[in-house]
Structure formats: C-alpha cells, structure tokens
Structure 1
C-alpha cells in the first residue's frame, strides 16, 4: 500500500469526530475493506493506537482461503506535531466452528519518514464464544516486548464491551535514573470499556505502568503516558 492510497483513506475518514467507519467491497475471491480502524481482529488489538486528532486509516484484503494482508496508519504525519507511522500485517485466520477459531500473523511497525529501524511482532490467538484471547512478541532490539490481549466482548453486567492489554518490556540498554539506579524492564497495561450512547461510540480507557518518578524517563510502552491516566473518547459517525 502506497502513501497516496493511505492519504486517500485518511482524507475520507478523519479521526476526531468519526466513529469506526468502513467501506467494504467483494472483489472475486477477495474481501476488501477500507476504514478508520483496522478490521483484523487480533491485529486490531496489537497495532499502534491512533493519536488524538490525527488523520488515520488503512485497508485490509482477505482471501476466501483465510489468508489476509493489510496496512494501517495510526498517524499520517500531516501536521508538524505528528509523525507518519505505518503498521503492515500478514496473517491467516480460520474457524473450526461458529464459536471457535484461531488466527496468527506478522506485523511490521515502521516510520517511513524517519531513519529509525523497523520492528516486527509475531501474533496469534483464539476466538472462543465471543471472546478473543491473543498475544504478541516484538523483537525490537531497543525494547523487546511481550503483549497479552483479551477482548471479552459485550459484558451484560456493565452493559459495555471490555478490552484488556498487558505488556512486559525489556530494554536493550538499561536506563539510568538520577540516583544511580537502573531500569532494565517494566510492565504496562490498559483497560477499555466501550458502549454506544445517543448515536455515539463511547470509550473509557484506564492506562498505567509500574514506573514512576524518574523511572518514567525510561518509558516507551504501548500507552501515551507512563503514569496512570483515564481517557474518555466520544466518536460519532456522519453516515
């Protein structure tokens, strides 16, 4: 997928006021999707999140055999405060029954406009009775990461969908704090509750890590901030 095509998807779909919009077409044995959020189930929980207010979008192409390929740009880098990011993935998905299936694939995280090296992650998981359980291993030399991802679907008790992510990060080079102590690994996590309300999609997200104080200088995890943060997102579709 070229940058002009990604620019087209981002232009059609602006992140801040829009919900998860998607254009879908059947092309012979292929299913083509273009949207503001990644359509792939396990990859959707493991790719980089979209920056608030940034143009983002991507596409997904699936063959009837179960093989699929896609690209998603969490940020198109159209403003001075943002960077062009691109997550590319290739995978395979199959279902044994309507309530049981599996998925596995490879994601490449890249920054086409920067000189920093790309990183890769192997991911896989199971779909069972409406719940998705997955994991990934990212072998980035500067931050080797293992991630667990769980989407519990709609939970009737709280009338919301529940998603949980937990990650363990091991730094390639230990980070030295001002008092002389070092950080060579850390954990972070996020919990997201989602539900529709008055035509909008509401997301309540809590994120945190086990770093604090000067140790936060070593943070390079999946969340925006090292310290505990509660975020409320409201998105509405125009059509």
Structure 2
C-alpha cells in the first residue's frame, strides 16, 4: 500500500476535483479511485504481488442500466503493464428481497502484444448474479478471446459471497469461487477463498486458493468513491 502522505495528497486532489465538478454534476455518474498492496483477481495476483493503483468511471440509470470502465496497473512478466475493463449491464429487484444483475465485461490489455503479436490477452465474459439479503451467487463465462487468452474461452467461474455488518460501519465479507476451464485447459481448474473486513474506505483481506505452490495472500486497500 502507498504511504500515508501519498494517500493524503490523492485525497486532497480528489476533493478539489469534486468541488470543480459540482457545477456540472450528472445524476448517476460516479468515479472511484483505489490503492492496494496487491491486485488479486479470483485469488491470483495480477501485479506479481506488487502494489496497484486503480480507478474507474460508472454511469447508472434509474431504469437499472449501467455502463462503466475501470483501469489498473498489472505485471505478468512481459510487455503488459495495464488493464482496461469496459462493461455494461442491467440490474434490479425481483421482489421479496431478491435482486439480479446481468451484463458483459471486456478485459483489455493494450500493450500486451508490443513485441509479440500472438501475445494478445484480451477477452470478454458474460455474467449474471442473484442476491438475497446478505448473500449473492454469480457466474461468469468466457467469450471472444484473443490468441493469448484461449485459456479463458468457455471458462466458467462460479462464486458465492456474503456481507455482514458486524459492528458500526464494519463489514465482514466472505467469498468462495470455483474456476473451471475448457477441456484443453482443465488441469488449470482451481478454487479460491477469501475473507475481508472493511470500514471507512479501508479493506483488509486474506485470500487463498487450492493451487499447488500458492501461498495465502494478505492485502490492504483504500478506496474513494466520488459522485460526479
């Protein structure tokens, strides 16, 4: 995680930006910025266990439609240094405390093929989730993969999550996910687990997988949400 002086500086800049945008506020438009000691995606580091700075912009309509983009630094040991996600979807209430969310997300790595044209990592997923009270279940299915991302073509990630307020402003999060790959890559199948505590923009988390030679990861993150 970045040092406290960096956090204070970024927070001050964001506060100034928020003031400058107040005259041009758009209902449903928001932004987010985060700093983390490690960028974990489904239990696996995307930054070679190094720190990450990320941010995004989202628009959500009263109808339930939303669209957004999110970016972060990454490190896969090659040319790739950045990830850019673009997504859109639709969510709402089903009544009796149930909710749903369906959509599509595209993961882009703009500089992954700088020196090797076959090293293009971009891929997409269609996703859906159902929620009830503190609990949710989700499914993501890999589609339209580039040459360097064939691993994700037809891959299915199913996860279950729960969030509970255990004290004033303190949220406990629980997660388990199962990643199943298509026949040619089924030796890569794995399960990941996670537990987290969040309060006031800070999140402290433990994550692990059942993969061989994979150690438990501890991460600290701080995030800021901004209404634009």
- After TM superposition, give the deviation of residue 74 of structure 1 in Å: 2.4
* Residues 209 and 228 in structure 1, CA contact (< 8 A), matched pair in contact too: no
Higher relative contact order (CA 8 A, sep 6+): 2
Task: Give the Cα separation in 1 of the matches to 2:142 and 2:202.
Answer: 30
* Residues 126 and 134 in structure 1, CA contact (< 8 A), matched pair in contact too: yes
2:134 corresponds to which of 124, 130, 136: 130
What is the number of equivalent residue pairs in this alignment? 187
Query: Match of 2:123?
Result: 119
Give 1:113-192 correspondences, 5 Å limit: 113-115=111-113, 116-139=120-143, 140=145, 141-144=150-153, 145-154=155-164, 156=166, 160-170=171-181, 184-192=187-195
* Residues 16 and 54 in structure 1, CA contact (< 8 A), matched pair in contact too: no
CA pair 16-70 structure 1, distance change in 2 beyond 3 A = farther
TM-score by structure 2 length?
Answer: 0.65
1:31 corresponds to which of 24, 28, 31: 28
TM-score by structure 1 length?
Answer: 0.62
Structure 2: state its 5+ residue gaps. 1-5, 35-40, 114-119
1:233 corresponds to which of 204, 212, 220: 220
Task: Give the Cα separation in 2 of the matches to 1:90 and 1:15.
Answer: 30
- After TM superposition, give the deviation of residue 184 of structure 1 in Å: 3.0
2:85 corresponds to which of 76, 84, 87: 87
CA pair 84-101 structure 1, distance change in 2 beyond 3 A = same
* Residues 18 and 235 in structure 1, CA contact (< 8 A), matched pair in contact too: no
Query: Match of 2:116?
Result: none
CA pair 111-82 structure 1, distance change in 2 beyond 3 A = closer
Query: Match of 1:195?
Result: 198
Query: Match of 1:220?
Result: none
Structure number with higher helix proportion: 2
Task: Give the Cα separation in 1 of the matches to 2:139 and 2:110.
Answer: 26
- After TM superposition, give the deviation of residue 98 of structure 1 in Å: 7.2
Structure 1: state its 5+ residue gaps. 1-13, 38-44, 175-182, 213-226
CA pair 172-148 structure 1, distance change in 2 beyond 3 A = closer
Q: Where does structure 1 differ by over 3 angstroms across 4 or more consecutive aligned residues?
A: 14-19, 21-26, 48-52, 171-174, 234-237
SS in 2 for 1:184: helix
